[in-house]
Amino acid sequence: MNVLSHYLFLCLFGFGHILRRDSQIPANQAMSGYFVTEGSKFKGRPLTTLPVVLNRDLSRIINSNLQLKSSHDLEHLRSIAQQRDEWTKLIARIREAAEASQSEH
């Protein structure tokens, strides 16, 4: 496992841990609040945020319809994270897709 995939693994493992926790902890409230749309959209260069990066990583998985673009998607990922075996498999699929993408460049 190279440094990038090890780092990715640790980040996603930690993200799953947060998703399994109570929805009232600050980290989960911040994630849920990210998808609440208020006011006008930000103009300019798109921000690089955790949901944007995770959505990009999820989109790299072949034969998967997982994404992170809405609170509904976040709830779906939360349900996957509750099943540790399924979450670990998802992390492995993301890592494999990231390694394949990295080797293409």
Residue whose structure tokens are 């994404």? 67
Nearest CA among 80, 82, 54 for reference residue 68 = 54
**Whether residue 40 has pLDDT greater than 70:** no
**Whether residue 2 has pLDDT greater than 80:** no
- Amino acid 55: pLDDT: 87
Cα 47 from Cα 91, distance rounded (Å): 24
SS3 category, 9: helix
**Whether residue 3 has pLDDT greater than 60:** no
For 36-64, what is the mean pLDDT? 78
